[in-house]
Amino acid sequence: MAERQRRGRRRANNNATERSIGEAALRRFADAGFDGASLRDIAAEAGVDVALVSYRFGSKLDLWKAIVARVGATMVERLRGVSRTETTDAGSALAAAMNAFIDINCDDDAIPRVLLRDASHDPERAAWVFDHVSRPVLDEFLPLIERATAGGAVTAPIPALFFLNFAYGLAGHVIRRATLARLAPELADEAAFRAALRATLVEPHFRHG
């Protein structure tokens, strides 16, 4: 029993350490970019030895890939949670998923900063973002968009374009929030910012007809 408890504590400590490294890496990649971030800086921010980062994750590219894959998996998990609990009509289900996606990006603006930066630069990293974030998230949204379109709740002749227009618009607003807040000071308030995103990026799609 005591040995099992010790193993359980070690696993919990290992998970906490990896989570700390992952959070530090996400922030550093968002702030400095892939080329500007170093394993040493990430280790310092996580409060661990750089050798531990290399041991747990491998190279800087391996760490970046692990972080991006984790972001994609978390997005899909949260979206599926919304889908499981949303039992109303197709339009409401799509709106709930779009609102959840706004929350995902606003909860940690390092996520869109990392993804948008690397989706348009290095081809290998762009392909990784597509395979582990863009494609899985799109696959969650497409059935919702198609059902909402079939039910007349939205107009989306090309469902993938409907989603990409929403997702890239959202990422751009979140990344440029400081600039937006200088132009519209009320957007400095977190609740007001999220409400404005919903009013701008979600609600207009459901007002036709």
User: Any idea where the domains of the chain sit in the sequence?
Assistant: 1-58, 60-206
Domains 1-58 and 60-206 share a fold: no
- Considering only residues 87 and 186, tell me which one the structure prediction assigns the higher pLDDT: 186
Q: What are the CA-CA distances from residue 193 to residues 82, 98, 172 (Å)? A: 21, 15, 13
Section 73-84 average pLDDT: 90
Predicted local confidence at residue 83, as pLDDT: 74
Domain covering 1-58 in this structure, CATH number: 1.10.10.60
Res 126: pLDDT: 92
For 180, the token pair is: 């937006």
Amino acid at 46: A
What's the pLDDT at 14? Answer: 66
Q: Read off the pLDDT of residues 89-133 as tens digits, 9 standing for 90 and up.
A: 899 999 999 999 999 999 999 999 999 876 677 899 999 999 999
State the pLDDT confidence band at 24, using cuts at 50, 70 and 90. Answer: very high
Element containing residue 40 per DSSP (H, E): helix 39-46
DSSP secondary structure letters along 144-155? HHHHHHHTTSS-
Average pLDDT score over the chain:
91
Q: Find out whether 208 and 153 touch, Cβ atoms under 8 Å.
A: no
**Integer Cα distance of 35 and 147 in angstroms:** 42
Architecture category of domain 60-206 in CATH? Orthogonal Bundle (1.10)
The tokens of 94 are what? 């799509």
**Quick one: pLDDT at residue 105?**
97
pTM: predicted TM-score of the whole model, two decimal places: 0.88
